[in-house]
Amino acid sequence: MKLDKLVGERFKEKPSDCVIDSHALMMRGGYMKDVAKGIYSQFMPLKRTCQKIEGIIRQEMNAIDGQEVLFPVALPASLWDESGRYESVGSELLRFTDRNGSKMVLGMTHEEAAVHLVRDYAKSYNNYPFMIYQIQTKFRDEARPRAGLIRVREFTMKDAYSFHTSQEDLEKYYDICYDAYNRIFARAGIPEVVTVASDSGMMGGSLAHEYMLLTPIGEDSIAICQDESCDFRANMEAAASIIENTKDAEDQPLTKVSTPNVHTMEDVCDFLKVSLEKSCKAVVYQKNMTDDYVVIFLRGDLDVNETKLTNFLGEDVHPAVITEESGLKAGFIGPVDLTVSGNATIIYDKSLEGSNNLICGANEMDFHCTGLCVERDLPNAEYIDVAKIIEGGICPCCGKKTITISRGIEVGNIFQLGTKYTKSMNMQYLDADGNAQYPIMGCYGIGVGRLAASVCEAHHDEYGPIWPISIAPWQVHLCCLRADDQEAKACADKLYEDLKKKGIEVIYDDRQVRPGVMFSDADLLGVPIRLIVSPRNMKESVVELKTRDKSVEEKVPVDQVMEKVDQLMKDMFDKLNA
């Protein structure tokens, strides 16, 4: 490929709307162009990188007996009605009506389509187990697309679905996919990806893991145990919050105190000279479907984990609008003598269990209470875990106070779905005894564009991406300085032809531009091996060979260049595959 024919602009300035490096570098490097919010067109460099990622994914999925299929992007709403998700999934599912008046959706995930494809085939236990997968465009009407390809609305994804006749068989295959995913990320150039326990969310199922690239720009919060003997890692949404309360030796009486114009628990504690840990705060939501109030009481220094809350309720919620008719006194809500209009749900977080002498609201304007003793004053309270795990908190695995909170980008996920979809969509098979059974499913996803952006985020400098050899848009970037010099141009042209004949992917820059412009463009394209031909080098009969990561920089005799490039490429691939 000649660089002067490459469609797409490269430029120095960072776009003002790019908040992370990978987004800025991909825009500056001529990788993509925004079409609408969260929707991008891909230029050739990004398309080639994504194709290579897809190739790695295909190899690993085929190696574990995956069968590639293809589902439609547009699906009839009736399929999603069967699973119950047409109504239960929120506005991120794009619904529309076609010209015939039929309700349709754009697929954001394809569990329903997978069951529909195989339920007529897999009617005997002899047909199991099997796995099907696709690499397909999906659309999720994301409310807040951001960070380039990290959070988009339209995206390409590999999703796989396995079908089994026993939980044991699913778990065995789940482990096989778990290992295959580790190989995919290592081959793509980010072996530092870690697995974390996660919440299965709208996918359903009993067990789920996410593959996370730990980075400060990540939008997921990960709880990690720092004890060397413990390997606990979990998405904050799924991490249990364990709180140990130190109970005062003597219970104080419940006493109402004046707190005029003091609303937040932080301000109340400052006003009364008490630590947040010795307070009970109220957080109020409303159910999306009915607007019924949900009042959560938890320790004052903690926050509500909305994922845990919605899982407990079985439905989505939104922050409450507190009206006079509700009976709630905003800023002064407490658990004792609480009255709420309508069919309200009252929840007590486990962080309150066994505590005493707490500050809480008095359910009266400008008043709070001191001396709340949970066992005494709330004898019928039942406790559930709806709080977020905290930095320095107790590890749910080893029990030590060794939790740290890190940020991460989710680059893949795997779920044990169980029979959620096969039951709801009436997919059955006959077992060896002739009894009808529901197959058990697993689900396994990787976002292709997000993975490309994540690799760029993990491996770049201020000048551009540093692509691994396995997914770089090209393997060699050939630069001819002073293309008007006959000897240099002849040498570069021959190298270009020799590289192509050997099957090496090469981008050739023979433009008559300043070296600074040529090298700047080369940095933005991030090709791992760079060859520089110039009149000065021709005087020594050498070619400069550099790697984008600056680990190699040497002059190679012209007649040894091909051999050196071959060996360097082999070393790079061996390092990834190791």
CB 183 within 8 A of CB 191: no
Kind and range of the H or E element at 80?
helix 77-83
Encoding tokens for residue 1? 């490929």
Give alpha helix (H) positions in 482-560: 486-501, 515-525, 535-540
- Note every long-range contact of 263-270, with CB atoms under 8 Å and residues 24 or more positions apart, other chains counting: 263/330, 263/331, 263/332, 264/331, 265/300, 265/359, 266/300, 268/359, 268/368, 269/300, 269/359
CB 397 within 8 A of CB 233: no
pLDDT of residue 206: 57
Residue type, 522: A
pLDDT of residue 197: 78
pLDDT of residue 202: 43
Point out which residues pair with 555 in neighbouring strands: 544
User: Mapped to the 3 state alphabet, what secondary structure does 247-296 carry?
Assistant: CCCCCCCCEEEECCCCCCHHHHHHHHCCCHHHEEEEEEEEECCCCCEEEE
Looking up tokens 């009364």 gives 272
Residue type, 567: Q
pLDDT of residue 201: 52
pLDDT of residue 203: 42
- pLDDT in single tens digits along all 578 residues of the chain: 999 999 999 999 989 889 899 999 999 999 999 999 999 999 999 999 999 999 999 999 999 999 999 999 999 999 999 999 998 888 899 999 999 999 999 999 999 999 999 999 999 999 999 999 999 999 999 988 989 999 999 999 999 999 999 999 999 999 999 999 999 999 999 988 988 877 655 444 457 888 999 988 888 889 999 998 998 888 888 889 999 888 899 999 999 999 998 888 999 999 999 999 999 999 999 998 899 999 999 999 999 999 899 989 988 899 999 998 899 999 999 999 999 988 899 999 999 999 999 999 999 999 999 999 999 999 999 999 999 999 999 999 999 999 999 999 999 999 999 999 999 999 999 999 999 999 999 999 999 999 999 999 999 999 999 999 999 999 999 999 999 999 999 999 999 999 999 999 999 999 999 999 999 999 999 999 999 999 999 999 999 999 999 999 999 999 999 999 999 999 999 999 88
Tell me the C-alpha distance between 250 and 437, whole Å.
59
* Burial class for 13, CB neighbours closer than 10 Å (0-12, 13-18, 19+): exposed
Which three-class secondary structure state does DSSP give residue 84? coil
Encoding tokens for residue 526? 């991030």
Closest Cα partner for 185 from 461, 527, 470, 466?
A: 470
Closest Cα partner for 365 from 390, 387, 334, 342?
A: 334
Closest Cα partner for 369 from 401, 345, 335?
A: 335
Looking up tokens 């969310």 gives 201
pLDDT of residue 228: 86
Encoding tokens for residue 460? 């770049």
Tell me the C-alpha distance between 219 and 148, whole Å.
13
User: Mapped to the 3 state alphabet, what secondary structure does 319-351 carry?
Assistant: ECCCCHHHCCCCCCCCCCCCCCCCCCEEEEEHH
Tell me the C-alpha distance between 566 and 557, whole Å.
14
Tell me the C-alpha distance between 472 and 453, whole Å.
12
pLDDT of residue 30: 96
At a CB cut-off of 8 Å and minimum separation 6, what does 488 contact? 480, 481, 482, 533, 534, 535, 537, 538
Closest Cα partner for 61 from 480, 525, 446, 487?
A: 446
Point out which residues pair with 159 in neighbouring strands: 134, 445
φ/ψ of 197, rounded to 5, equals -65, 145
- Measuring CA to CA, how many Å separate 109 from each of 53, 129, 197, 316, 551? 20, 22, 20, 19, 42
φ/ψ of 60, rounded to 5, equals -75, -35
pTM of the full predicted structure?
Answer: 0.86
Pairing of strands 529-533, 476-480: parallel
Encoding tokens for residue 364? 């009266």
Report the Cα 342 to chain-centroid distance in Å: 38
